[in-house]
Structure 1
Amino acid sequence: MKDITIKKLAELVDINPETIRFYHREGILKEPAKRANGYRYYNEDHALRLSFIKRAKDLGFTLKEIKDLFEMNQKSRATCATVKVKAENKIEEIDQKIADLMQIKKSLQDLCHACDVGSAEMKQYRVMDCFDASCKC
């Protein structure tokens, strides 16, 4: 991939150019130096990093967590113990999200079953109960 402008990079990764500028300010994405013509040009590494950021956000990672992941690769003082603790904490969060999603899935399946039985059954069903942690839908 040849060097491209921020507009083309944004189109390639399917994000807003302002989001890229925000990532520059937050220190998550290194801003390339301006060239003689006054433009900044981005390369394949920028596109890969932005794709990673976008996917990680979609999967529930915060920008701070994403930045921490990048910094662990770049800083020599990051130890395996530090990385392992962060990874284990994220695994616990993911496991909890999976459990929550499974509870919601079961509730929606129950709703589908209630619809199959009849509209009276469906009207008695409270789908919002699936978000109640104490409810074992």
Structure 2
Amino acid sequence: MNEKPLLIGRLAKLSGVRPDTIRFYERNGLLPKPSRTASGYRVYDAAALNQMRFIRKAQSLGFSLDEIKRIMSLRGPGKETCRCVVSMAEATLSETETKLKEMQRFREALARHLGRWKRNSRSRQIRRRVA
């Protein structure tokens, strides 16, 4: 069965990005240069859609485009990706845990300040009523 080629607009829609994003990924080596029609339109295959989905998923997990590019360069027959990907995932997880701790401290401080502001506001309102 022969699959229908995808033009950039359709690939963008299926992968949840704008066509400019696909062009950016091509320029930066995240996607290979596609073949073109006689009219110059970019033509993509299912492999490009799979790569786009991989990139989007990796981004949602916190990987940078440079890290994703590195992971993708390690993919392929005879290449050992596991060790590198595991190492990068561990680093990303560690960074995420650090950010979560910082956000938790920020949340706690904000809640304390908010409580203080509310108490101060109430006591000012009471003093105004009494005066």
1:106, distance to aligned residue in structure 2 (A): 5.7
- Give the Cα–Cα distance (whole angstroms) in 2 for the partners of residues 52 and 14 of structure 1: 12
2:63–2:92 Cα contact (<8 Å) kept: no
Please give the alpha-carbon distance, in whole angstroms, between the structure 1 residues aligned to 2:85 and 2:9. Answer: 34
Q: Secondary structure at the match of 2:75?
A: helix
Structure of greater Rg: 2
Q: Deviations over 1:18-44 (max 9, x none)?
A: 111111111110122112343222222
Measure, in 2, the Cα distance between the counterparts of 1:25 and 1:95: 30
2:34 aligned residue (32, 35, 38): 32
The CA RMSD measured in Å over matched residues stands at: 2.8
Q: 1:68-116 CA deviation, whole Å, 9 max, x = no partner?
A: 111111374x446xx5255224303312312421442364367558767
Residue number in structure 1 paired with 2:90: 91
Note closer, same or farther for the CA distance 1:89–1:28 as it changes in structure 2 (3 Å cut): closer
What's the % identity of the aligned pairs? 27
Give the AA of the match of 1:34: R
Give the corresponding residue for 1:100. Answer: 99
Structure 2 stretches lacking a partner, 5+ long: 121-131
Are positions 1:73 and 2:72 aligned together? no
TM alignment of 1:1-137, pairs within 5 A: 2-74=4-76, 76=78, 78-79=79-80, 83-85=82-84, 87-105=86-104, 107-108=106-107, 111=110, 119-120=118-119
Q: Distance in 2 between matches of 1:39 and 1:92?
A: 40
User: What residue in structure 2 maps to residue 133 of structure 1?
Assistant: none
Structure 1 gaps of 5+ residues are 122-137
TM-score w.r.t. length of structure 2: 0.68
* SS class of match (1:41): strand
**Which amino acid letter does the alignment assign opposite residue 23 of structure 1?**
Y
| TM-score normalised by length of structure 1 | 0.66
Higher strand share: 2
Whole-angstrom CA distance in 1 between matches of 2:117 and 2:29:
55
